[in-house]
Amino acid sequence: MSYGNDGGTWRSEAWRNDGGVPPHAFDPSMQPELFRGVLTRRVFAFLIDLFVLSVPVILAVIFIAVFGLVTLGLGWALFWLVSPASIVWAIVYYGASIGGQHSATPGMRMMDLELRTWYGARGYFVLGAVHAVLFWVTISFLSPLVLLVALLNGRRRLLHDVILGTVIINSSVRTQVTPAARATY
């Protein structure tokens, strides 16, 4: 919010006739190519991210199992750390990747997807972490409803996207820019 001095009266950008709320940045009726194939790509991106998340967890379990053999069973007491460490790893993974430069997880980048807020801003760490937590909570309790919500809206948003005000777009369409003409000498 910016304030400016206008001859002794203060004004704010929040006091506008439209209520101070910017319009949606991505309109499915004006830009349908941004949402074409997003749901299918999200499924494959989820599977890729699930694989990336599970590899370090599996390696940790193998390490603890071997460590338990070497220490004659004492090392197996570390198995209790696997579940909380997996949760922390997933939250950091999603937070760091969605809050990163590409605003997408590695799976989303492979599928040319990008997370944006409803007004067009890139994702940030807390948004990525909360996005992951809310996804797992909604999918655990309301699995059919989550999928139904995505099929009934033009932006193809899942329930946790609607709650958080995010949208997943096809980044390959958005980043296609015609190259500038080159002068040949």
Question: What predicted TM-score, i.e. pTM, was given to this entire model?
Answer: 0.78
Reported as a pLDDT band with limits 50, 70 and 90, residue 23 is low
| CB crowding 120-157: b at 16 or more within 10 Å, else e | eebbebebbbbbbbbbeebbeeeeeebeebbeeeebbb
Q: What is the pLDDT of residues 92-148, one digit of tens each?
A: 999 999 999 999 999 999 999 999 998 889 999 999 999 999 999 988 888 777 778
pLDDT at res. 63: 97
Q: What pLDDT is stored for residue 103 in this prediction?
A: 94
Model pLDDT, residue 2? 45
| pLDDT tens column, 165-175 | 999 999 887 55
Q: Burial of 97 by CB count in 10 Å (0-12 exposed, 13-18 middle, 19+ buried)? A: buried
C-beta of residue 159 within 8 angstroms of C-beta of residue 149: yes
Residue 183 confidence (pLDDT) above 50: no
Q: Which residues contact 166 (CB under 8 A, 6 or more apart)?
A: 115, 116, 117, 118, 123, 127, 131, 157
| Domain map (residue ranges) of the chain | 31-173
| pLDDT digit string, tens, across residues 83-101 | 999 999 999 999 999 999 9
Other Cβ atoms closer than 10 A to 64: 18
* Contact criterion met (CB below 8 Å) for 168 and 42: yes
| pLDDT for res 124 | 95
Give the span between the Cα atoms of 50 and 48, in whole angstroms: 5
Residue 19 has pLDDT above 60, yes or no: no
Q: SS3 of 116, please?
A: strand
